[in-house]
A and B are shown apart, each in its own frame.
Chain A
């Protein structure tokens, strides 16, 4: 049994607690393009972004571009990495392809970018749930030693996203199982497939914190304490508040 949330004042399902424990463990270990220390630093910077004065000024501005300055950062990561973390955390709806290209030109590889976005997303999913329930934020994991695998999927190609991705027909044995079988693969699943381990990790959380790909479309029964309609109302309201069409 997972010890995560064992002392929480509200009961968190054992499957979800275990999924969060797995996610936290993975954040502390070397990934594909960042080592454990860098990954934990990205997670810490994700939290720190909420108190950044530059991000707040940009968020309040009609357009974020003209607002210059330096991010309030923890100082453990290069400026370009901090820019990505802070923008994705605090103002994602106004990210643009031009901004993305600028980040890549500044020295970020697409693979590092995808892994960074994934870590931010893991932390946001878990921390936002904690805020909703009035729980203290989980202490970040301790980084483990190890080198990034630098695994680059051979079949990744440019598609309709800003980053290259893997179509289901291009999966090799090493990426097998990252997409659900028997139904079209949604763009949100392909979005991070340039780093396949991040797809596995993030969608492990999705399956337990939301619903799995089959459950979400099976309206013949309910799988959670709230109904499909209640779940989708929440999901849609959050996406509208975030100004996210997807």
Chain B
């Protein structure tokens, strides 16, 4: 949701399909494809893929950007666990604001309502 908010504020249209990994270009976000591939590699198990993705991202956004990117991937890998393990739902206002793209991208199948 903050990705869309960022785009609206910057008057940029980001392709939200990027978050599903289905988009082969940057989706309107600078170095978007490399960022997505890096996130996928960090959560994956193939060391060679991770080494390649890390080097490609570093070449694109520099060492400070890579450090920040790794931090964000790590943090959300943790936040997702807190959310799932405590059974929190999306807040009502966020659910309303994101209803259209959740439906379009079929994200509701991940929701807490599906995990009774």
Residues of A within 8 A of B (CB): 10-13, 16, 84, 88-89, 92-98, 100, 114, 117-118, 120-122, 124-134, 160-163, 184, 186-188, 190-192, 202, 205-206, 209-210, 216-217, 219-220, 224-246
**Least distance between A235 CB and chain B CB atoms (Å):** 5
Closest residue on chain A to residue B87 by CB atoms: A162
Which of B69, B74, B76 touches A127 (beta carbons < 8 Å)?
Answer: B74
Q: How far is the CA of A188 from the CA of B1 in the complex (A)?
A: 15
Contacting residues, chain A, for B18 (C-beta < 8 A): 233, 237
**Chain A residues within 8 Å of B2, by CB:** 216-217, 228, 232, 235
B104 interfacial contact with A, CB 8 Å:
no
Asked if residues B86 and A132 are in contact (CB atoms below 8 Å), the reply is no
Interface bits B83-116 vs A (CB < 8 Å: 1, else 0) = 1111111110100000000100001101110011
15 contacts between A and B (CB under 8 A): A97-B115, A117-B85, A125-B79, A128-B42, A131-B70, A131-B74, A160-B88, A187-B91, A202-B82, A210-B75, A229-B28, A231-B72, A234-B35, A238-B80, A246-B80
The interface residues of chain A lying within 8 Å CB-to-CB of B93 are 184
Given A225-B61, A235-B75, A240-B107, 15 more contacts at CB 8 Å? A10-B66, A94-B115, A126-B74, A128-B74, A132-B69, A133-B70, A188-B88, A210-B75, A216-B2, A217-B5, A226-B68, A228-B6, A229-B3, A233-B35, A236-B19
A121 touches B78 (CB 8 A): yes
Chain B interface size, under 10 / 10 to 19 / 20 to 34 / 35 or more: 35 or more
Q: Which residues of A contact B111 (CB under 8 A)?
A: 245
Residues of A contacting B19 in the complex (Cβ-Cβ under 8 angstroms): 233, 236-237, 239-240
In the assembled complex, which residues on chain A have CB atoms less than 8 Å from the CB atom of B36? 233-234, 237
- Check if B7 sits within 8 Å of A239, measured CB to CB: no
Asked if residues B67 and A117 are in contact (CB atoms below 8 Å), the reply is: no
- Which B residues from 47 to 73 make CB contacts under 8 A with A? 50-51, 54, 61-73
Complex alpha-carbon distance, A131 and B75, angstroms: 12
**Beta-carbon contact of A187 and B43 below 8 Å:** no
Known: A128-B77, A191-B86, A242-B43. A225 touches B67 (CB 8 A): yes
Nearest CB of chain A from residue B85's CB, rounded to whole Å = 5
Closest approach, in angstroms, between the C-beta of A117 and any C-beta of chain B?
A: 5
Shortest CB distance A91–B (Å):
9
Q: Which residue of A lies closest to B40 (CB)?
A: A241
Q: Tell me the complex Cα distance, A125–B71, Å.
A: 8
Residues of B within 8 A of A234 (CB): 35-36, 38-39, 69, 72-73, 76
- The chain B residue with its CB closest to the CB of A84 is B85
Within the assembled complex, what's the spacing in Å between the Cα atoms of A163 and B81? 14
Collect the chain A residues with CB atoms within 8 Å of residue B31's CB.
230
User: When chains A and B are docked, how far (Å) is the Cα of A245 from the Cα of B114?
Assistant: 11
Question: Out of B21, B63, B67, B87, which one reaches A240, CB within 8 Å?
Answer: B21
Q: Are B32 and A225 touching (Cβ within 8 A)? A: no
